[in-house]
Amino acid sequence: MRHQIKVFILIVFLLILNGCAKKVLMKYAETDTIKMCEENFYSKFYMHFSENEKNEFKEIKTLGECQIFIDTFWQKRDTDPSTSENEYKTLLEKRVEDIEKEVLFQNMDTAGFAFKASDGFKGDPAKIYMLHGAPDFTKKIEGHTFVNLMVWIYGDENGKHRYRFLFYQKNSIQYVIFWPQWNGWIAIEEISKDFVELDAVYEELIQNEGEIFLISMISFSDNSNITPDKALKPPKPASEIAKELAPKIKTETPKTEEIVVANSFNSTIPAEFSYEITNDKLILKLEIKHEDLDWILKNNELVSELFIKTIVWDKDQKHEEEHNINIVSTKQKITEKNSFFFFESKPITLESEIVKASIYIKNNQKYNSWIEEIKR
């Protein structure tokens, strides 16, 4: 009786599912658009759609909009934007081809398995195949005491099992996914045929080298952080992964548009460095011609923003100074050859005979640097 109720519920559930599957996703689209987009594209690649993309897809009305959606869909997933080929599109199209050509049917380990019999692209095996491609290891077993089982294993870089997907044959027709149970006996009960002792199922699996099926019934991955939920999530598009993992780029942003008067170099500020030692006190000096700086207009004045950093290492001491200086000038002064900006560091009392000094100046994207050994 319990079995009959189960079968009845299953039939009702399948009928509902079937009804849902035929429901058109694209609510506002014309028939030809639905054919091209939903039947030829979505029905195959839907496992890779994010929730946002699904919502966006539902709103598509015309073929043109659909083409733009598809182009963007692939572009976001291109794994190497520097090549003309979209490697990810090629990869997924190959998976579609594999499913359509029933590549596992004649495979020794999965002989007789057909995606078509397992609800085609809507079925669990095709979903997994579209997500993860061909498994690294497959095995199928037909039992007397249990329903037919099939396992697909995907390895990781360390040779461990990243995913173990276990399928069982439901109603002797289609393979559906079996989610691992925390209790092995409950798992065995799920796959056992009616009126069979659970010990007998266990024994039959062991005798037929079915340990991998037993493991897959209770554990999905060798990595405890990987859950079935995660394995069924659409993979992040390459462009998103790149955003998350790519290094941060730090550089100078040239203020080219703001610059009113610029020096004749692109990355250099010509300047004269000198130093003075009086009574053991060291002063670092810089002399920069106004015409050798970049100038911007600020409140009707020409301003040059100069950053100066000096470091003097003397024995164990480090004397460091940083200055952000706004030099104000006039256009006439800037063009005069003898118009200079002078800088002097704070006097440093020297302890050693020889000290090392580092001077760095930056103005806009341009810079100059000195490293000197200074003898007393």
Give contact residues for other proteins (rule: CB under 8 A). 79-82, 156-157, 225-226, 236, 238-239, 241-242, 244-252, 254, 264-268, 270-273, 292, 309, 311, 358, 360, 362, 365-371
Cα four-point dihedral sign 38, 132, 213, 144: positive
Q: What is the DSSP letter of 192?
A: B
**Based on CB atoms, which residue is closest to other proteins, 252 or 301?**
252
**Based on CB atoms, which residue is closest to other proteins, 161 or 366?**
366
**Phi, psi dihedrals of residue 141, rounded to the nearest 5°:** -140, 135
Q: What is the DSSP letter of 37?
A: I
**Based on CB atoms, which residue is closest to other proteins, 23 or 250?**
250
3-state class (DSSP) for residue 255: coil
Q: For 290-324, give the DSSP string.
A: GGGS-EEEETTEEEEEEEEEEEEEETTEEEEEEEE
**Based on CB atoms, which residue is closest to other proteins, 19 or 247?**
247
**Based on CB atoms, which residue is closest to other proteins, 110 or 364?**
364
User: At closest approach, how far in Å is the CB of 210 from other proteins?
Assistant: 29
Cα four-point dihedral sign 226, 232, 237, 243: negative
Cα four-point dihedral sign 268, 269, 274, 275: negative
User: At closest approach, how far in Å is the CB of 231 from other proteins?
Assistant: 12
> What is the rounded CA–CA span in Å between residue 102 and residue 91?
16
User: At closest approach, how far in Å is the CB of 103 from other proteins?
Assistant: 21
User: At closest approach, how far in Å is the CB of 51 from other proteins?
Assistant: 20
**Based on CB atoms, which residue is closest to other proteins, 169 or 310?**
310
**Based on CB atoms, which residue is closest to other proteins, 63 or 311?**
311
* Residues 66/60, Cβ–Cβ less than 8 Å: yes
Closest CA to 2 of 240, 233, 195, 264: 195
Q: What is the DSSP letter of 71?
A: H
* Residues 239/76, Cβ–Cβ less than 8 Å: yes
**Based on CB atoms, which residue is closest to other proteins, 170 or 309?**
309
User: At closest approach, how far in Å is the CB of 211 from other proteins?
Assistant: 27
User: At closest approach, how far in Å is the CB of 58 from other proteins?
Assistant: 28
User: At closest approach, how far in Å is the CB of 244 from other proteins?
Assistant: 7
Token pair of 115 as six digits: 């995606």
CA within 13 Å, CB half, 185: 3
User: At closest approach, how far in Å is the CB of 197 from other proteins?
Assistant: 41
